Chains A and B, each alone.
Chain A
Amino acid sequence: MSIPFARVKELEKSYGKTVALASVSLDVGKGEMFGLIGPDGAGKTTLMRILSSLLDPDSGDCVVAGVSVSEDPAGIRRIIGYMPQRFSLYQDLTVGENLRFFADLFRVPRRERIKRTAMLLEFARLEPFVKRQAGRLSGGMKQKLALACALVHTPEFLILDEPTTGVDPVSRREFWSILKKLKETGVTILVSTPYMEEAELCDRVALMHKGRVLMTGVAKDIAQGFAGTVYSVACDDTVGLAVWLKGRLTPEQVRIVGTRVHVSLFGDTGRAIAGLEREAATAGFSIAMAEPVPAALEDAFVAMIAERERRHDAA
């Protein structure tokens, strides 16, 4: 990357005794789709709010397209479109009126507005409800309307804080295809998400924890950096086996993936899995051979965070 489009330099921010950001630095390239992942309280929202000039850092700075957040916050706001985690809609306005309101606010020309609105209502599956008051929508429909309002204009740099929480799988898929289209038109996107399969759709991701960036890179590389082995086990009672394994190991080492159970093991994993297989058989589970599979981003993420939390608890 030559000159980064957005550069976050040694940001620090504390709320009283709580350190939200402990020296965070990041570069985002022009036209890049950049994902932020990390457990609750990692500092993702604080970082996004500082980048959007809504919050002052204690120290450090952000520069976006040559504009410094600390020197020219108004300039930053012209470049950035920010959608907070809890976006407020006008509850007493209808779906259509909310979209119109935000389009006017961002001075979207009429023709563009009509085109955009139609596309966004389709993704959100809200066309049949344009006349319904926002306050009467379901939780996920509100979230989708908020997303539509945030996307009604095209900022150069789009910052989205957990945009798909509460959104159903069909709409999530459509939402990400819209993001991809925006990216193709040159928009730079910074997005946080608790869904690891969404993070995998980003060009790069940063994994944050307790106010620090633990790792930055392509999702696939982070997954490959997983320190153990993931074993995939087939069993006709996947749930029973998963619950049993969680009791034998720790809950974070086990997950169900479709018709199989994936177990993350560390150290002498060959021996560990053989031992588990024997014990599971004794416990009455009929399981087929466990086979190693490539780790997914989720496996690496969970292992890394759980490790850190344990170290923190022990300290």
Chain B
Amino acid sequence: MTQPDAGNETNARGKKASGHDYAVTVRDLTRMFGEFVAVDNVSFDVKRGEIFGFLGANGAGKTTTIKMLTGLLRPTSGTGTVDGLDISNDRRAIKSRIGYMSQRFSLYDDLKVEENLFFFGGVYGMDRDSVEARVSELDDMLSLSGLENRMTASLPPGHKQRLALACAILHRPPVLFLDEPTGGVDPVARRYFWDLISTIASDGTTVFVTTHYMDEAEYCHRLSIMHAGRIVEVDSPARIKEKHGMTSIQDVFIKLVDG
């Protein structure tokens, strides 16, 4: 439970007083579990306002990397920053600067929709009034009104996903981490969700997103592809396809991962 860090003044949304160009920087980041190297010396940068697609094979180390960037897991070695804050030393402060939707939407199923929103707002030091104001501001985008009193467990996956997104952006984080936000969501809901992501990014929020749907990868400004702990490709979707002489990211992915 972190309070917004008073020591880190921000002027406009997403811009720290010191003005960094990068929302995320990572250098030689490594995470071991015992002898096993889950994340193996990775380096990359994510620009502000970018939709960065973090692709990779199962077990490649995507979630582990996101956990290090969001301050949930300590790196074994290497460094990184998120919104200009150090991922090893400013772990508490980072939490108020990011939104995070985990691989299994981490909502409380036995709370009402409204209670989930108040709970997550509270985590970020928001009172009920400001949560309500923010939710009505987001309603155009998220269409959650009318559902306030529904039990979260009873929502269809598409609605749950939008609620989880709402909880993650209540506090206007400059950097948003989405770990497989569209897993198990039908094609219509996925198209709407990506429209939301584009809208959020066009407001200046940086979106760091993982997915196994290769058609979604095409909507990212830049992509990285991870395999067995390493990043094997980073570039825009167009340049990646061009570089590998292929017409779809799916084909490039299969080539890089299946070798």
User: Which B residue's beta carbon lies closest to that of A303?
Assistant: B188
Mask: chain B, 202-221; 1 = CB below 8 Å from A; 0 = not: 10000000001111001101
Given A41-B156, A259-B238, A251-B250 contact (CB < 8 Å): no
10 tightest A-B contacts by CB? A140-B58, A256-B218, A39-B186, A251-B195, A40-B156, A258-B248, A258-B247, A41-B156, A138-B59, A165-B184
Cβ–Cβ contact B184 & A162, under 8 A: yes
Interface size class of A (residues with CB under 8 A): 35 or more
**Nearest residue, chain B, Cβ from A41:** B156
Give the docked Cα–Cα distance between A85 and B185 (Å). Answer: 12
- The number of residues on chain B lying at the interface, defined by a beta carbon within 8 Å of a beta carbon of chain A, is 46
Asked whether A173 is an interface residue with its Cβ less than 8 Å from the other chain, the reply is: yes
Complex Cα spacing A276 to B218, Å: 22
CB closest residue in chain B, given A140: B58
Which of A75-83, A108-116, A238-246, A277-285 touches B? A238-246
Option from A167, A194, A305 in Cβ contact (under 8 Å) with B185: A194
Does A178 count as interface, using CB distance less than 8 angstroms? Answer: no
In the complex, what residue of chain B is closest to A239 when comparing beta carbons?
Answer: B219
**B63: chain A residues within 8 A (beta carbon):** 138-139
Given A40-B156, A194-B185, A194-B187: A169 and B218 interface contact (C-beta under 8 Å): no
Bits for A219-250, please: 1 = Cβ < 8 Å to B, else 0.
00000000000000000101100110010000
A186 contacts B by Cβ under 8 Å: no
Cα–Cα, bound, A232→B180 (Å): 28
Q: Known contacts A129-B59, A140-B58, A258-B241; can you find 9 more A-B pairs with CB under 8 A?
A: A38-B186, A40-B158, A136-B33, A140-B59, A166-B58, A168-B253, A251-B191, A251-B192, A256-B215
Query: Would A302 and B156 count as touching, CB distance under 8 A?
Result: no
24 contacts between A and B (CB under 8 A): A40-B156, A40-B186, A40-B189, A41-B156, A129-B59, A140-B212, A141-B58, A166-B58, A168-B57, A169-B254, A194-B186, A194-B190, A238-B238, A239-B218, A243-B195, A243-B198, A246-B195, A255-B191, A256-B219, A258-B241, A258-B247, A259-B238, A302-B187, A305-B188
Interface string of A26-48 (1 = CB under 8 A from B): 00000000000011110000000
Residues of A within 8 A of B157 (CB): 40
CB of B56 within 8 A of chain A?
A: yes
Residues of A within 8 A of B (CB): 38-41, 85, 125, 129, 136-141, 143-144, 162, 165-173, 194-196, 236, 238-239, 242-243, 246, 251-252, 254-259, 298, 301-302, 305-306, 309
A26 to chain B, nearest CB (A): 19
CB contacts (< 8 Å) of A195 on chain B: these are: 213
Query: Is B145 interfacial (CB 8 A cutoff)?
Result: no
Q: Once bound together, how far apart are the Cα atoms of A243 and B257, in whole Å?
A: 29
Contacting pair B187 A259 (CB below 8 A): no
B183 at the interface (CB under 8 A from A): yes
C-alpha gap A173/B195 in the complex (Å): 28
Interface string of B136-178 (1 = CB under 8 A from A): 0000000000000000000011100000000000000000000
- Are B188 and A302 within 8 A (Cβ)? yes
Which residue of chain B has its CB nearest to the CB of A39?
A: B186
B258 within 8 A of A: yes
**Whole-angstrom distance between the Cβ of B222 and the nearest chain A Cβ:** 11
Give every chain B residue within 8 A of A252 (Cβ-Cβ).
188, 191-192
Q: Which residues of B contact A302 (CB under 8 A)?
A: 187-188, 191
Write out the residue numbers on chain B whose beta carbons fall within 8 Å of the beta carbon of A137: 59
Interface centre among B58, B158, B248, B257 (most CB of A within 10 A): B58
